[in-house]
Structure 1
Amino acid sequence: MIKSLFNRYNLKAWVLFAIAIIIAGIALPELPKQIPIHFNVAGEIDNYGSRYMIFLAPALILIFQVIAEVSRHIDPKKENYDVFTNYYYQIIFAVDLMILAIEGITIAAAFGKNVYISTIMPAMMGILFVFIGNMMPKFKHNYTIGIKTSWTLANEQVWYETHRFAGKVWVIGGLVEVSTVFVPVPWKFITFFIVILLMVIIPIVFSYIRYKNK
């Protein structure tokens, strides 16, 4: 298990972890005692925490790495990962990259820079959704990643059809999320959460319909 944490697919993620640690260590002495840890829907800072919270980003990357590896090894369908291993680790890397970007945003905000969080976050999330949507049709039957409903887990053909369909839904949803950067702030986050809700519900309903049709 320990050895698999440092396999060749995980190498890029560990590089991001090292970068996150180095950036946090360099920034720490210069950071104010309190740094922003939360922004409201208007992109304004509404909560502060200790400057040592800057190490939360590398901690999250580490935790995510361990959880992803453990989940893969205890999955009852773990043999299927051999077919889509590369895509699995690409998604892990993409999430880690976003965590690293958030660390940079936090540091910039702590130094008083205007980071336009209400624009940056929807754009980053949208790009991540598009990326995951493109990966979805490659997901093989498993219990860790993907649209895990009773119907997709019960039937591999339903799993396959659902993920081909859900991939398109997530790509479209991601593009819509990116486009919200041009939407006024009061509507930006309403649109954001409505789109996420549809991205979750539509594939679930689709998997149920396909299972019943089988």
Structure 2
Amino acid sequence: MVSGNKRPAPISRSSWITALVLSGTALIATAALYNRLPSSVPVHWNIMGEADSYGPRYMVWVLGSLPLLTALLMRLLPQIDPRRGNYEKSERAYNAVFLATVTLMTLIHLMVLAVSVGIDLRADMIVKAGVGVLFVVIGNYLGTIRSTFFFGIRTPWTLSNDEIWRRTHRLGGRLFILAGFCFIVSSFFRGLLSAILPFSALAIAVTVPLVYSCVIYKRQAPPD
């Protein structure tokens, strides 16, 4: 049984307050600018940095709520994870990824508001650079996290063996850092190459650890 004074998640008080300030900023900015917004707002940009998809004005409330909803979800998930004890052992990593995720979502929402009221911003640069920083943060901590069902590279093989989990995450951490830097570098350019480079790196960062965990498992499995 979980004691009554146990924290609901491995999120520090300062991280939680920071997340509430960020998500509150997104909602306050939405309320302050809502009457100045056009009837449709940009929600997607192409590889040339041009808005190519729009949604109704009320969509900014949905987008503005995402930082808070994400913060609440990340606070809840450890409580329903059968391996919730491992979150405390990965507290530093979880806090870093938690804050980086909420910060990025708030930044993107504020960017949408700014562009919608006519401020000239390179949305593609902001998004790719922000995602790149998030991936670098994830990669930096990936090798330190313990086995859980919601946080990390979760395959049947990593979840079944702590050594496979550790080795897979050490490799995945390096690949995510590389992918993050590819996103950051590509943010300074436009065109097809600026899309191919980061998303190819991301595909490698996601796929290689999955395959690697399976290979390690098969090598460790006793012969029939």
Q: TM-score, normalised by structure 1?
A: 0.91
Distance 1:28 1:35 in 2: 11
Alignment of 1:28-107 (within 5 A): 28-107=34-113
1:189 aligns with 2:181: no
- Residues 174-206 of structure 1 show CA distances to partners (whole Å, capped at 9, x for unaligned) of 112211134441221122221111110111122
Q: Could you tell me the percent identity over the aligned residues?
A: 29
Distance 1:44 1:155 in 2: 46
1:21 counterpart letter in structure 2:
L
Distance 1:154 1:191 in 2: 33
1:85 counterpart letter in structure 2:
E
Question: Secondary structure of the residue that 1:10 maps to in structure 2?
Answer: helix
Distance 2:60 2:170 in 1: 38
- Residues 111-139 of structure 1 show CA distances to partners (whole Å, capped at 9, x for unaligned) of 22332122222211111111110010121
Question: Secondary structure of the residue that 2:104 maps to in structure 1?
Answer: helix
The gaps in structure 1 that reach 5 residues or longer are none
CA RMSD after TM alignment:
2.0
Distance 1:86 1:60 in 2: 23
1:174 aligns with 2:180: yes
Range 118-127 or range 75-84, more displaced: 118-127
The gaps in structure 2 that reach 5 residues or longer are none
1:4 to 4, 8, 15: 8
- Residues 86-126 of structure 1 show CA distances to partners (whole Å, capped at 9, x for unaligned) of 32122121111111111121112112233212222221111
The Cα of 1:151 is off from its aligned counterpart by: 0.7
Is the contact between residue 13 and residue 93 of structure 1 (CA under 8 Å) also seen in structure 2? yes
Q: TM-score, normalised by structure 2?
A: 0.87
1:91 counterpart letter in structure 2:
V
1:26 aligns with 2:46: no
Aligned length: 213
Distance 1:181 1:40 in 2: 13
Is the contact between residue 48 and residue 190 of structure 2 (CA under 8 Å) also seen in structure 1? no
Name the structure where helix makes up a greater proportion of residues: 1
